[in-house]
Amino acid sequence: MNNGTSKRLPVLITGGAGFIGSNLANSLLESGERVMILDNLSRSGVERNWKWLKAQHGSAVELVEADVRKPKEVTAIVREAGAIYHFAAQVAVTTSLEDPEFDFSVNVLGTLNVLHAWRNLASPPPLVFTSTNKVYGSLPDVDLREHEGRYEPVNDRIRVCGISEAQPLEFYSPYGCSKGAADQYVLDHARTFGLPALVFRMSCIYGPRQFGTEDQGWVAHFLIRAQERGRLTVYGDGMQVRDVLFVEDLVRALRLARENLPRLAGQAFNIGGGPGNTLSLLELLNQIEALDRRPEVEFADWRPGDQRYYVSDVTRFTRATGWRPSVGVGEGIRRLHEWLKQSDKGAAVACART
């Protein structure tokens, strides 16, 4: 099988004009690799990411404006790839509740189109798929308590280490179901057909080139609302806790995942900032107040499947590759805040409004 180390074929990133895709593409391009992006440019802000990549890297990066729901288009693109990162997805729980059929068509059928085209190659290259912590549902079996204005697990091991891959899957919401189904299809292709693929079940990723909205990218969304002196809605009581991971650290993990395939094939890894990089919504508001201005907040009911606590146990991937997060919460938020203040701040804010 192709180990993906050859630079003769480009790296394919589906959804590559998005927040994570554009950061990964930039890193690969800076290393001298060629990158091919499959993206339909439907999400607000991604066209600006594409223009930025093109301005930075010229002919080394190519955009194929296509849709993963169209198998013929996907097949034609996948056959040109020396490695595949499959990021293209419908990413919002709220959208999945409003239109489950659309959510299914993008996240499940789109992923199956990529997998079918990949499996039929003479020498399938490494494939990395980004899943979500939502595959674990609302974590009803994790008992919580309130402590210093945030939720924490009663169980000592979970409190110290986070949620491991041993946590039972429990799909909740159409989004959880569709990403969970795609997650399992990728793992099954690795196991059943002996193909070099793995899955990242990701927690909250944040950083430059993120045009956060209420539905996705909450760290950037909170910062943008503060900059535009707007009001934001907190669903629940604000004491819910997440581990947050700066995008540069995720890019390192994604590159290590590819480098370590097929050794790690058929495995799913929880990827996030881990117990050392946790943040409640109320704590983020306090940090924003120290940097800028605290946005006006209104509270609303919990949304379906909301997790009051989710922190990734990243031990398995750390042991497998040596990776660990390096950018702390305070530094990461400051860096995102500064990026939003730069010349493209106005466009970022405008994208967040659409």
Number of structural domains the chain divides into: 1
Which residue in 85, 175, 206, 309 is the catalytic one? 175
Instruction: Please indicate, yes or no, if residue 132 is contained in any of the structural domains.
Output: yes
Instruction: Please indicate, yes or no, if residue 1 is contained in any of the structural domains.
Output: no
- Whether 345 shows a pLDDT value over 90: the answer reads no
Report which of 229, 209, 225, 234 is spatially closest to residue 336, judged by C-alpha positions: 209
Instruction: Please indicate, yes or no, if residue 6 is contained in any of the structural domains.
Output: no
Instruction: Please indicate, yes or no, if residue 4 is contained in any of the structural domains.
Output: no
Instruction: Give residue 352's pLDDT band: very low, low, confident or very high (50, 70, 90).
Output: very low
Please provide residue 121's backbone torsions phi and psi, each rounded to the nearest 5 degrees.
-75, 150
Instruction: Please indicate, yes or no, if residue 3 is contained in any of the structural domains.
Output: no
Give the mean model confidence (pLDDT) for residues 247-262.
Answer: 98
> pLDDT at position 215, please?
78
Mean pLDDT of all residues in the chain? 93
Instruction: Please indicate, yes or no, if residue 5 is contained in any of the structural domains.
Output: no
CATH number of the domain enclosing 100: 3.40.50.720
pLDDT tens digits, 219-245: 999 999 998 888 999 999 999 999 999
Instruction: Give residue 354's pLDDT band: very low, low, confident or very high (50, 70, 90).
Output: very low
Give the least confident one: 168-172, 213-217, 316-320, 340-344. 340-344
> pLDDT at position 4, please?
42
> pLDDT at position 213, please?
82
Instruction: Please indicate, yes or no, if residue 273 is contained in any of the structural domains.
Output: yes
- Domain that includes residue 210, residue range: 11-353
Query: Considering all CA atoms of the chain, what is the largest pairwise distance in Å, rounded to the nearest integer?
Result: 56
> pLDDT at position 344, please?
52
Q: How many CB atoms lie within 10 A of CB 143?
A: 11
Does the annotation count 85 as an active-site position? no
pLDDT tens digits, 8-47: 899 999 999 999 999 999 999 999 999 999 999 998 889 9
pLDDT tens digits, 103-135: 999 999 999 999 999 999 999 999 999 999 999
Instruction: Please indicate, yes or no, if residue 266 is contained in any of the structural domains.
Output: yes
For the chain, give the secondary structure using H, E and C: CCCCCCCCCCEEEECCCCHHHHHHHHHHHHCCCCEEEECCCCCCCHHHHHHHHHHHHHHHEEEECCCCCCHHHHHHHHCCCCEEEECCCCCCHHHHHHCHHHHHHHHHHHHHHHHHHHHCCCCCCCEEEEEEHHHHCCCCCCCEEEECCEEEECCHHHHHHCECCCCCCCCCHHHHHHHHHHHHHHHHHHHHHCCCEEEEEECEEECCCCCCCCCCCHHHHHHHHHHCCCEEEEECCCCCEEEEEEHHHHHHHHHHHHHCCCCCCCCEEEECCCCCCEEEHHHHHHHHHHHCCCCEEEEECCCCCCCCEECECCHHHHHHHCCCCCCCHHHHHHHHHHHHHCCCHHHHHHHHHC
Give dist(CA 220, CA 306) in Å, integer: 19
